[in-house]
Every structure is written in structure tokens, then in C-alpha cells.
Amino acid sequence: MEYLQIGITTAIAFIITVIGTPLTIPVLKRIKAGQSIREEGPKSHMVKSGTPTMGGIAIIGAVLITCFTAGKITTDLVIIIVAFVAFGALGFIDDFVKVSLKRNLGLTAKQKLLLQIIIAACLALYQSRVSVYGTSVFIPFVNMYLDFGIWYIPFISFVVVSMVNSVNLTDGLDGLASGVTLIVALFLALVGTTYGFTTTAIFCAAMAGACFGFLMFNKHPAKVFMGDTGSLALGGGIAAAAIMMNIELIIPIAGGVYVAEALSVVLQVASFKLRGKRIFKMAPLHHHFELSGWKETKVVGVFWMVTFVLCAISLLVV
């Protein structure tokens, strides 16, 4: 019955997003919330300039409606939703600055990082106070918990901020971030249902359904982009859900695509500064494959399949 509830929740969020996204797109066009394409990006992406962005509003709305109508509201669910919305709000501000002030990079890196750390630290503080595991973190493969003590809050904050920005970097091709997050969210919903984290599972199922619904309009050629509004919210939601279930270190495995995208940027920047040479043709990683001759749809499809395999492996070790 619990697995059936997850399926129903996913379906409801899907339907809400399928209805809500096409209602959102005309509004975004009306306020001229068009995507600006960075000149240093792949030239093939210039045709996407002007495509409505900030579509993550539809995802956030669908998740909220689904969660608040799905049944019992617990404190854990409220905390996850607060983190989800807070990161989404930060992304919305960033998108708004890009659209209204015509600043392609939005908020400054320092501004975004500071706000992200504050949200992440609050989430970590809550979990350290209420979790039965306290400041202990589950270690995959060895099936044990390690007490981080005073380092728990800094560590969890790092995990959250890293995840949020990794999802943000993954959002660079039509359907990439929404598809990958759909799979990861379903994985978390299954874990939550299996181990009794019912409300967390409901949130993850709602997020999966919303991503699936949004994918109907975000697949190639995309009619709308989620923007930082969506990618930061999804990253925050994934991280918050994992933390509530004390499986923080499973996310780098299940979300290996996120990690690879972020790591490619770190390695690219480090290599260029230290050696004056680039490792990849372009970072994040999806652009490297594009410039290597892969079609955008092939890159997205392969990344989806990799995520599915990684989530299957994660189910075996969680």
C-alpha cells in the first residue's frame, strides 16, 4: 500500500505540473523572462536564446500542492519543504537579477554562497538536534554509522551546498537536470518507503512527478527552462531528503552524474590555473561530449542511463 501511495503521489505531481507549466510559460514570456546564452558556451546553444526560463516555479508549485494534500504533515516534511523553497527562492532572485537587470551571471558568487551556507547550516543544525542518530552519518558499503561530532554541521553544510550547485551545473542541456533528478528522486522515494520515512518518501515522489511533468516541456527542443529557480530547489530538496534519512553519503553515488559535472568544472579550472591547459574541451562535462561530436539528445540519454545504473547500485548498499 505504501508503494502504491508513492505511485499515486508521483502521478498527482505529474498531472499538476503538466497543467501548470503551460500556464506558466505565457506569463514568463509576458515578463520577458528569456534565457540569456553565455557567449563562451557552445555556439549551437545560441538558438536557445530567449527561451522562457524560471520554469522551476511550476515544479515548486506542484511539489507544494502535492505534499500539502497528500496526508499527514510532519515536522520533518515541513523542514524539507522549507529548505526546498528557500533554495528555490534564492534561485528565483538570481534569475530575476539576470532577467530584469540583464546581468547574465545573476547574483555574485559570494552572495549566493553565503545564502546557501546559511540555509544548509540551519538544516544541519535541525537534523543534529532531532535525529535519533544525532551527529552520526551512515557510511555506505561498510553498513555502519560514524559520529562526526562538532564537524557534523560543517560537513552537512558542505554536502548540501555541493549538491545544490552540482544540480545547478547539470542544468545545461534540454531535459538533463529534470531527467536525472527524476530518477534520483524516485530512488530516494523507494528508500524512504522501505525504511519507514513515509513523509520524506512522499516529498521525493512529488519531486519525481514534478520533474517528469516538467520534462514534457523541457525535453529537446525545450519550450521552457527551469532556471536557477528550479535547479537550486531540486538540489536543496534532494540534499534535505537524504539528510532526513541519514543517507547523505549515498547521494554522491546515486547522483554520480551531478558529482561528475561539478568535478569536471573544478578540474578544468584547477588545470588551467596551474598548467595553463584544459582537461576538457569545455566544462561542465556535458559540454565536453557535445563538442566531441555527440548530439545533445545522446548526451542526455546516456547521462540518464548512467544515473539509473548508479541508483540501482545504491539500492543494494543503502
For the beta carbon of residue 119, count every other beta carbon within 10 angstroms. Answer: 22
CB neighbours of 186 closer than 8 A, spacing ≥ 6?
A: 10, 204, 205, 208, 311
Question: Any alpha helices (H) in the chain, and if so which ranges?
Answer: 2-30, 56-69, 75-100, 109-130, 152-170, 176-194, 198-218, 227-244, 251-254, 256-275, 285-291, 296-317
What is the Cα 18 distance to its own chain's centre?
Answer: 19
Cell of 146: 560514524
Distance CA 222, CA 173 (A): 9
- Binding site annotation covers 143? no
What separation, in Å, do the N-terminal and C-terminal C-alpha atoms of the chain show?
22
Residues 169/280, Cβ–Cβ less than 8 Å: no
Kindly tell me the burial class for residue 216, based on how many C-beta atoms sit within 10 Å of its own C-beta (0-12, 13-18, 19 or more). Answer: middle
User: Is 228 part of any known ligand binding site?
Assistant: yes
| Residues making up the binding site for Mg(2+) | 168, 228
| Residues making up the binding site | 168, 228
